[in-house]
Amino acid sequence: MGRTNKLGYAAVLGLEAYSRKSVEPRLYELIKLRASILNGCGFCVDMHATEGARRGIPQRTLHAVGAWQHAQGFFEEKELAALALTDAVTRLGPDTVTDEIWDTAAQHFDEGELGALVLAICTINVWNRVAIATRMAPPIDGKHPIV
């Protein structure tokens, strides 16, 4: 997309830059990993699990993102609220972003932070769709070995 649609790619990069500076790094990596798992984006799951580990998120916590509802001991309350919101926004439908999910998130984040979280969740969903549509695969080579 970066080679064929430079303006569109730049717009998504702008959202990414906003999200990176508006959402705490650990939380943003957890959000990106969770949405990528839900969307089935292998490239993005690999990228965000790798980046999360690089940022010091424990491997067990990264593994637990896939089943966060049953591994709550790995996450702070505000992270659980953000993961629930990530699930709801990623799985849009008539009963997804419920008042309960929103109100729980609002207990941990102010209005501006909630807006930033929603945009961050939307941003990773855009990246997931771009990666899947363009058939991006996780790199496996000398620089990116499977260990």
- pLDDT, tens digit (0-9, with 9 covering 90-100), for 12-29: 999 999 999 999 999 999
Question: The whole model's pTM is what?
Answer: 0.90
CB contact set of 125 (below 8 Å; sequence gap of 6+): 35, 39, 89, 90
CB-based contact 58:29 (threshold 8 Å)? no
Average pLDDT (127-131) is: 94
pLDDT at 1: 55
pLDDT (tens digit per residue) in 110-125: 999 999 999 999 999 9
Q: 25-133 domain in CATH 1.20.1290.10? A: yes
pLDDT at 84: 97
User: Domain locations in the chain?
Assistant: 25-133
CB-based contact 31:23 (threshold 8 Å)? yes
